[in-house]
Amino acid sequence: MGESLDRLSRHLGTPPPVALTRLFKGWEELVGPAVATHSRPLSLARGVLVVAVDQPAWAAQLGWLEADLLRRFERSLGAKVVTSIVVRVRPS
């Protein structure tokens, strides 16, 4: 079953289910508590991670942190799972 899910996720352009689980459930650990308080991952497809933030200032902050965050994601999730970050301002 795991192999079937991996094939399906590759076909759909999404990462393996285990990487998605690590990303969504481990968000605070991956980005740190300060960033996690003001952001949440929305989707990940074809390497593009869409993140919602609660204020425009946090959108700018994630832009400044993008290179560092991409390195963290690569170490934790694997190479090329997240290749870029798109930030959307969505107040809670």
User: What is the pLDDT tens value at each position of the chain, 92 positions in all?
Assistant: 556 545 555 555 567 888 999 999 999 999 999 999 999 999 998 999 999 999 999 999 999 999 999 999 999 999 999 999 999 999 87
pLDDT at residue 1 in the model: 52
pLDDT of residue 17: 82
Q: Which own/partner pairs from 18-27 qualify as long-range (CB within 8 Å, at least 24 positions apart)?
A: 19/77, 19/78, 19/81, 20/44, 22/76, 22/77, 23/49, 23/73, 23/77, 23/81, 23/82, 26/76
Please give the pLDDT value at position 58: 97
**What are the structural domains, with CATH classification, of the chain?**
2-89 (3.30.300)
